[in-house]
Structure 1
Amino acid sequence: MGTLEDKIAIVTGAGQGIGRGIAEKLYAEGATVVIADINENSAKGTAAELGSRAVGLHADVTAPESVQAMVEQVRQQFGRIDVLVNNAGWDKAAPFVDSDRADWDRVIQINLYGVLNTCKAVLPIMAEQKSGTVVNVASDAGRVGSSGEAVYSAAKGGVISFTKSVAREMARYQVNANAVCPGPTDTALFASIGGDDPRLREALTKAIPFRRLAQPSDLANVVAFFASDEAAYVTGQTVSVSGGLTMS
């Protein structure tokens, strides 16, 4: 019997990468998992591969009406929402002085407003239930900064601060909120912002005490703990999953 037996969990951006790894872990622990992704085909494909306790739904986290429609569908189908994992994210690497304002908007809309939109839709449901847990996937970039990712770092820093504030506001309803901060992780997004450069990979690997990039499963294990009743008395916390690259 898994630690998430009978729980209803939403994972955003779960069609691939870290989100998919999180969805697989939550499913393995017994949860019913809603794969919410802007790419409906990848959401449904991932859900089909997971099994009968998974459903794939379209959701654009930057659009409040899209998020609300997805959340309403989950509530109607399952009657409750126990876990919200805000994983959807996007970045485009460039020195800040060379960056494009249109990219600032997209980075902030997806990484920060995406979290605000889903929490605005889900937290009232959890408050009414007097139970629930929110796990926000932030980034070590939001804790210590990252060259070439200034706006992304700002957005993820906002996610960390927002998580702490929500944790304070929602504690009276027995709802907790925590942030998980990945370090460099071997995903398609990482490859798209320069991670496919062998020199960069080698330099990063040498800088990480464990001498390897994170795998999605490394993040998923920590998210699953926060999503479980074992973490019921833990709220407002930020945990780095970086192989020791950052320590505090």
Structure 2
Amino acid sequence: MKAFSLQGKKAVITGGGSGIGLGIANTFIEAGAQVLIIGRNEEKLIEAKSSLGDNCNYKSFDVTNLDRIPDFVMETESNWGNVDILINCAGTHLKKNAVDTTDSEFLQVLNVHLLSVFALTREFSKVMIERQQGSIIMISSMTAVMGMKQVVAYSTAKTAVVGLMRSMVSELAIDNVRINTIAPGWIESPMLHKAIDHDLPRKTKILNRIPSGKFGHPKDIGHAALYLASDAGKYINGVFLPVDGGATGGF
């Protein structure tokens, strides 16, 4: 099991204060990593740190402040130490028909799920290249695989990060910086419940689509991320990995 250890590694997890990000943080700490969770809601971050323990630090930062990302990366490296792993997990949700979605709403979702992901990946890649090692994980979605109603901005962003990954893999692999993408299925999280709790037909449709007939848990994504980030996945690069209870291939 040594190949799955993250002992001595440092991981930055955006959106690490709740949901999938928190599940990944918990798994990484169990594997021996030190984790820095990032988010906008400091109260939520403090609560998460309390549950995660001494190997967790937190920083309140809005990833949509793109101009501040280079300084944020440099400050993190200077004050916290060399970052070995970046998990791009910050997210927001907009449930709205495409014809009713405004340009500003569309761009707001892209800022969180795509533009900030590119900026963070670009800046952390620079220092990872210098050290000739690093692992970056994007979080995509089932909406990058199948068309779904009322998530046009989210779907566009989550599809685009796959193209972003593939392009950057072609440039960074020579420097031993790996980038992979996890596509969570329907995972128990505040974002999922916000989308379905008041929409029973949608919830029923989703559950009927999942062969296992149940939602996943954040640690299911955490275990997949651990594999990709650890030495167990050292020859895995540019992979799009659904973790979905069989939904992608189900009927």
Per the normalisation by structure 1, the TM-score is 0.94
Asked if 1:10 corresponds to 2:19, the answer is no
1:1-248 aligned at under 5 Å gives the runs 3-247=5-249
Q: Are residues 178 and 195 of structure 1, via their aligned partners in 2, closer, same or farther at CA, if it must alter by over 3 Å?
A: farther
* Deviation of 1:102 (Å): 2.1
How far apart are the structure 2 equivalents of 1:73 and 1:99? 36
Contact 1:44 1:57 in 2 (8 A): no
Aligned partners of 2:94 and 2:153 also within 8 Å: no
Deviations 1:39-90 (A, max 9, x none): 1222233123211111000121111244334322321234311000000111
Q: Once structures 1 and 2 are overlaid, which stretch shifts more, 226-235 or 92-101?
A: 92-101
Please state how far the C-alpha of 1:121 moved relative to its aligned partner: 1.8
Q: Deviations over 1:87-113 (max 9, x none)?
A: 011121122112222210111110001
| Cα separation, partners in 2 of 1:66 and 1:15, compared to 1, 3 Å | farther
Post-superposition Cα deviations, 1:166-188, rounded to whole Å, max 9, x if no partner, equal 11111111110000001122211
Q: How many residues align?
A: 248
- The answer on whether the counterparts of 1:11 and 1:34 sit within 8 Å (CA) in structure 2 is yes
- Measure the CA separation in 2 of the matches of 1:50 and 1:69: 27
AA matched with 1:109: N
Unaligned segments of structure 2, at least 5 residues? none
SS at match of 2:241: strand
For structure 1, which runs of at least 5 residues remain unmatched after alignment? none
Q: 8 Å contact 1:13–1:87 — kept in the other structure?
A: yes
Q: How far, CA to CA, are the matches of 1:224 and 1:141 in structure 2?
A: 23
Distance in 2 between residues matched to 1:8 and 1:166, nearest whole Å: 22
Question: Shift in Å at residue 196 of structure 1?
Answer: 4.2
Is the CA contact (8 Å cut-off) linking 2:207 and 2:214 kept in structure 1?
yes
| Cα distance between partner residues in 2 of 1:167 and 1:226 | 14
Answer whether contact 1:7 1:31 (CA < 8 A) is retained. Answer: yes
Q: Is the 8 A contact 1:58 1:70 kept in 2?
A: no
1:86 maps to a residue whose letter is N
Query: Secondary structure of 1:144's partner?
Result: coil
C-alpha contact 2:84 2:128 (8 A) present in aligned 1:
yes
**1:183–1:242 contact (8 Å) kept in structure 2:** yes
Find the aligned partners of 2:216 and 2:197 in 1 and give their Cα distance.
Answer: 12
Q: TM-score, normalised by structure 2?
A: 0.93
| 70 and 47 in structure 1: CA distance in 2 versus 1, 3 angstrom threshold | farther
